[in-house]
Amino acid sequence: MKKVLVVICAALTLIGCASSPSSPPGGRMLFGYVLPGEYAFYLDKRGGANFYRGYLAFPSEGGANIVFVRTINLNTGKEERFAFIVKDDEKGMPTNVTNIQGEFNTLDSRQALPDFLNFTSLYLRTKNEYEVGASIDDEWDDYTLEFSFNKVLPFFQFADIKMKGKRESLYTLEYGGILNIEDASRFFEMAPLKRSAAASRRTPAIPQKPGRTVNQDAVSITLDENWKYDDSTELPGYWLSLASVRDSQIAIEKSSLKQLGITRENPYFLLKVLVLAQGNSLEMNTVKTQKTPNGYQLEFYLRDDQNTRNYQRAFITFAGDSVYVINFSSFADIYDGNRAYYNKILDSIVIGQL
């Protein structure tokens, strides 16, 4: 497999998180939930529009934040860019927007500013109403908008906006990630994402073989003899090797709340780190989260450097002060063609006592 799941500790290092999510290396969390350098691009089709809107934020001096904005008219190709300084109050609410600089000439470009204030304020007002994700209504005089919030997604943390009762998305998260201040210029180089058809490969058949239970620390999984243990990578695990060296992989990572800098109250931060670490390779519309009896589950599809589609699933489980991250990754074709086989394995995961 050309691209495997970026595991928790590697992902924390990759995006430059410090030991505590409340104190990332770029400074405090922006608005209480955005990491310094976090960015996202959205497709805006409201009112028949066709715009590509991007946001990137970093901490600024005096406890303020600087937000960079790109607006691209996809019909004409015209782009405008601007930035503004915004302070947030003790609750993280954005207030006192100042120092607007750049191209701020058209109404369509200026719309990005009230959008930023409305979207951020809506999230902050409603984030305590749910644990990880929820559909939230934003009521106006003549209509109601429905936001699909999920705390693992970048920037505004919603997947899309729809008119209440309608299926068409009016405002859709296309992709996002995180940049270091040294790489911030990449934000202005990213073109609207156009995904081509995924590269095809020969999908192998999975032979039927006897099953067995394997154990690592307090985790047990029922695998069959197609799976072989391999310790040649930084994170050893079990590989299924049929059409390639590694068609699928299961690996277990053990850490602690203290090592990861999290608490039981903000576990979704780990899932968000995994999402941000994938960058533009992630297919945002496939991100799903689920509460499990002992923690959370995250799943999504992404493309590797060869445009091969991959499926990823991560289980985060808490046992006392310990944190187990069970990572499953597979070429999408073999997973999609054998879901019952794989789901039986993933459903067999048991976390015992430490």
pLDDT higher than threshold 80 for residue 6: no
* DSSP string for 304-322: -TT--EEEEEEEEEEETTE
In the chain, what are the domains? Answer: 8-14+199-351 (3.40.1000.10), 38-179 (no CATH)
Q: Is the pLDDT of residue 354 over 50?
A: no
pLDDT at site 2: 40
pLDDT at 209 > cutoff 80: yes
274 versus 15: the higher-pLDDT residue is 274
pLDDT at 306 over 50: yes
Q: Which residue has the higher pLDDT, 182 or 235?
A: 182
Q: pLDDT tier at 20 (50, 70, 90 boundaries)?
A: very low
Segment 216-225, tens digit of pLDDT: 888 899 999 9
**pLDDT for the residue 16:** 59
Average pLDDT value for residue range 333-344: 95
Name which residue leads in pLDDT, 279 or 292.
279
Residue 154 is classified by DSSP as S
- What mean pLDDT do residues 108-131 have? 92
Q: What pLDDT shows up at residue 340?
A: 95
d(CA 302, CA 350): 27
pTM of the model: 0.89
Distance in angstroms (rounded) separating the CA atoms of residues 188 and 143: 34
User: Could you write out the DSSP letters of every residue in 58-110?
Assistant: EE-GGGEEEEEEEEEETTT--EEEEEEEEEE-TT--EEEEEEEEE---SHHHH
Look-up: residue for tokens 């999975």? 206
Cβ atoms of 193 and 175 within 8 Å: the answer is yes
Mean pLDDT, all residues of the chain: 87
Give yes or no for residue 27 having a pLDDT over 60.
no
